[in-house]
């Protein structure tokens, strides 16, 4: 026979069990005796009473709104008013394209150029690179140290980012043409001066006219201001279509600027999406350089 618990101990155990039942705990490994339960009718009723669950009202499920990846439509073509010049024709004037002109002929005409003072400090002439029949031409400011060493445009850090931008558009570097406003590196990467641009711009325009692209993209303020012959900041016309010599031109930020300000990549991607739409390329949402 198991030893009977004292009345005082049984009372304490009963009170403890009632406490547990009050807070919702009703099952234990050791059962209480019949005599204890007989003295605790309220505890028996509480133990036998099923727990009532409060059902929370269910909220209606929200159906996601259908989204459509519609292509980005190009903005209307804007007529940019060039300044009047007294010392020669405007860059905006349609060129008299040289019959049977080719990039090879232009490069031969450029020769070992010494038309401006940039030849004194350069290592290489950076003529341009890419598809001679490209539908898209990128124009930068001028060669940097890496470009001057290799003789190719956009091969440094900024060039790698430009390559990523081109690939994000679904193209490769070999599909486009890349060149600069001036063919020789300005010392310390300074901006090209007016006389240097004046000597180089005829060759740049011959390149554009010979390639006959559908779209021209100016990379950075210097390239845009030089080609558009304006002192206005790039923010005044970035991302807008501008008519230039019978073609569509758009200015956006230079890849070197994006290396210093990564937050601006989103704005450049919007500009490139417009270019993609103009070229009939598939616009993929969310993809950027």
The string of pLDDT tens digits covering residues 77-133 is 565 554 443 444 445 455 557 888 999 999 999 999 999 999 999 999 999 999 999
Q: Is residue 76 part of a domain?
A: no
DSSP string for residues in 165-202: HHHHTT--GGGSEEEESSSSPPGGGPPPPHHHHHHHHH
Regarding whether 109 and 29 lie in a shared domain, the answer is: no
Regarding whether 112 and 41 lie in a shared domain, the answer is: no
Instruction: Say whether pLDDT at 28 is over 70.
Output: no
Instruction: Say whether pLDDT at 38 is over 90.
Output: no
Quote the number of domains for the chain. 2
Longest C-alpha distance within the chain, in Å? Answer: 124
pLDDT tens readout for residues 145-192:
999 999 999 999 999 999 999 999 999 999 999 999 999 999 999 999
By the 10 Å C-beta count (0-12 exposed, 13-18 middle, 19+ buried), 143 is classed as buried
Regarding whether 121 and 260 lie in a shared domain, the answer is: yes
Regarding whether 153 and 39 lie in a shared domain, the answer is: no
The enclosing domain of 155 has a CATH number of 3.40.470.10
pLDDT tens readout for residues 229-267:
888 999 999 999 999 988 999 999 999 999 999 999 999
Regarding whether 249 and 113 lie in a shared domain, the answer is: yes
Regarding whether 267 and 175 lie in a shared domain, the answer is: yes
Q: In this predicted model, which residue has the larger pLDDT, 39 or 154?
A: 154
Show the domain range for 35: 7-48
pTM metric for this prediction: 0.69
Contact between residue 218 and residue 139 where contact means Cβ atoms under 8 Å apart: yes
User: How many whole angstroms separate alpha carbon 29 and alpha carbon 45?
Assistant: 19
User: How many whole angstroms separate alpha carbon 186 and alpha carbon 119?
Assistant: 9
Quick one: CA dihedral 153, 157, 161, 163, positive or negative?
A: positive
pLDDT tens readout for residues 41-81:
554 455 455 544 444 444 444 444 454 444 555 445 565 55
Per DSSP, 236 falls in state G
Q: Is residue 85 part of a domain?
A: no
pLDDT tens readout for residues 189-223:
999 999 999 999 999 999 999 999 999 999 999 89
DSSP strands (E only) in 72-196 = 129-130, 136-140, 177-180
User: How many whole angstroms separate alpha carbon 198 and alpha carbon 192?
Assistant: 10
Q: Does residue 243 sit in helix, strand or coil?
A: strand
């Amino acid at each position: 026979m198991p030893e009977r618990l004292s009345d005082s101990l049984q009372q304490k155990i009963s009170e403890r069990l009632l406490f547990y039942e009050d807070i919702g705990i009703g099952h234990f490994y050791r059962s209480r005796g019949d005599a204890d339960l007989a003295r605790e009718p309220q505890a028996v009723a509480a133990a036998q009473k099923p727990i009532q669950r409060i059902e929370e009202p269910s909220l209606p499920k929200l159906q996601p709104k259908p989204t459509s990846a519609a292509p980005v439509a190009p903005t209307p073509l804007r007529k940019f008013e060039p300044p009047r010049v007294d010392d020669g024709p405007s860059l905006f004037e349609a060129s008299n394209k040289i019959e049977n002109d080719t990039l090879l002929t232009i490069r031969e005409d450029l020769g070992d150029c010494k038309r401006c003072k940039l030849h004194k400090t350069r290592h290489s002439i950076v003529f341009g690179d890419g598809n001679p029949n490209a539908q898209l031409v990128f124009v930068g400011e001028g060669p940097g140290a890496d470009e001057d060493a290799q003789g190719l445009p956009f091969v440094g850090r900024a060039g790698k980012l430009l390559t990523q931008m081109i690939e994000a558009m679904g193209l490769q570097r070999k599909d486009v043409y890349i060149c600069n406003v001036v063919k020789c590196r300005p010392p310390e990467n300074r901006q090209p001066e007016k006389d240097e641009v004046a000597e180089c711009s005829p060759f740049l325009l011959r390149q554009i006219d010979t390639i006959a692209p559908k779209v021209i993209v100016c990379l950075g303020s210097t390239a845009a201001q030089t080609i558009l012959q304006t002192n206005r900041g790039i923010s005044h016309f970035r991302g807008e279509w501008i008519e230039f010599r019978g073609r569509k031109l758009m200015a956006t930020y230079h890849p070197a600027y994006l290396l210093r300000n990564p937050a601006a990549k989103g704005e450049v991607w919007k500009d490139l999406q417009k270019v993609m739409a103009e070229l009939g390329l598939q616009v993929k949402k969310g993809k950027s350089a």
